[in-house]
Structure 1
């Protein structure tokens, strides 16, 4: 048992050869790994500078990869059939940060997100510096970029918000973007992972975002789902963002919707196209309707609006007995 526990916390790398075409096809997130609790980080690079078609795939795992996971990797690079995968345990270091250091900047709507201070800012855009880290949400994932695009679209069509929550904030990026678009709003951001909350605070300082509980500031909390007194106390929200996974989105539907005022908006992301119907059904049962959908690759971003209740104007707040927990699910 002790050996298994140690293995689960260790970092491993699997390397397979691939062609340039296969490497280019891996640009973005891979649906095959979407349901894993801790999906691998995939990186491709040129294996031989003098051979433009010789590339390699490196997959970084937190914990020793299973045979099923290695089989999925092989399916991504058919040219590696018959080649033995190189599987190695890595030293104890922040391998997620190391694997992300070569990420290209991303432009989504009016936002430009770079991961390295040496990358130039993009003129005419809102620039954020979100360094590679152990927290998810650097902007590269199609779900995060999709949320940025949706936020931008909402501002362009004249939508206004004064009380924003970002549940499963990761790096804090989406909360920062929302506060830039609506600078007089109160912003609340939370994550189940205390490391993510620490990283969000660091990113706020790096990007000149004020921390605190006042107008134009971001208040940060560590919480599983919405299981935190401050998250409930600061409700009702007129905009709530949840970029996590389909499972916890469905599980948290009652508690998330309870924190949104009548006529308010929820942005949902982190789900695959084939999961959209199940997620939508869970939120429609809570009085939400689909207002807009934007797809980036296999990953949709859903904008929902809470139907007003005729003859009853006060928002329904979260019942203190309903803790709104979703343990075991991290941010995405």
Structure 2
């Protein structure tokens, strides 16, 4: 997606709004990514660009979908992104009570990341020689369009290429289930569990699993789905320790969850982190290094890094065994990107 946003949270629904501005093709292409300033907002908008007139590079359109009425500062930021619209009054309108996330995601181009080809429309052709995954436009985010999701897909593919093997995997803040599906494709005999704070995201993940032939359940090669705030679920804790844990959320909850997530991972195990900006890497790494993790690899897609961490072995009385069942491991109000 062209939005820098997180999974819809368990919060009261707000009126949806749209801001429309004219732009040029060059400006539209510059917006083909994620806007760091919007990523820091509690409810970042979904940005969509389209041709207003065929074969006219100066006749394009920017539509920004907001959950709640956009502030003057947000509109000012939008205007700064399309200088050609200077002097043009933006069209700001409240939308009908519809599923604006689905509407804004419809028609997004397929994304190829590593061996994975992610389509959002069933009518889009599959890519020969690729692992084709269909994640339809839905009420939950994580369609592969976001740079952090694509970065995780690429990193997972690279990990498999260099011969890494995993037997027990967890995807915390799964969104649409995409990263869990990808990991299961790479390591099909592993146990796997995926969670999200939003029960709607968990429902969507189950639907997407059926669409993509991913079996649900508790055994090897099957995906368990649970609704949980961070690591706060008996099923997540009971399956620990994990040799691979994926957390594609945001910098704030990544830092808050560092102790509980690291406690879930076995010695020598891997944590894949994404959802943070490059300016937030030092703070996130400091939180995880304090829990015995080390940075093994980093890749960047625009302003969005993907971090692969490994847990240092510990000896003697400091050696971690399993997560304390009394540890809640919550990050209320946060879900996946």
TM-score (norm 2): 0.94
1:53 — aligned with what? 58
1:291 — aligned with what? 296
1:231 — aligned with what? 236
- Equivalent residues of 1:265, 1:306 under 8 A apart: yes
1:148 — aligned with what? 153
Which whole-Å CA distance do the structure 1 matches of 2:154 and 2:318 have between them? 31
**2:120 is equivalent to residue 115 of structure 1:** yes
1:178 — aligned with what? 183
Q: State how 1:1-332 maps to structure 2 within 5 Å.
A: 9-49=14-54, 51-311=56-316, 315-332=320-337
Structure 1 position 208, deviation (Å): 0.3
Which whole-Å CA distance do the structure 1 matches of 2:307 and 2:12 have between them? 37
Q: Residues 50, 108 of structure 1: CA spacing in aligned structure 2 closer, same or farther, 3 A cutoff? A: closer
Aligned-residue RMSD, C-alpha: 1.5
Structure 1 position 319, deviation (Å): 2.1
TM-score (norm 1): 0.96
State the SS of the aligned residue for 2:270.
strand
1:3 — aligned with what? none
- Equivalent residues of 2:313, 2:319 under 8 A apart: no
Which whole-Å CA distance do the structure 2 matches of 1:301 and 1:312 have between them? 32
Which whole-Å CA distance do the structure 2 matches of 1:318 and 1:200 have between them? 26
Structure 1 position 114, deviation (Å): 0.4
The number of equivalent residue pairs is: 327
Which whole-Å CA distance do the structure 2 matches of 1:110 and 1:50 have between them? 33
- Equivalent residues of 1:260, 1:306 under 8 A apart: yes
Structure 1 position 143, deviation (Å): 0.3
Which whole-Å CA distance do the structure 1 matches of 2:31 and 2:14 have between them? 26
- Equivalent residues of 1:260, 1:315 under 8 A apart: no
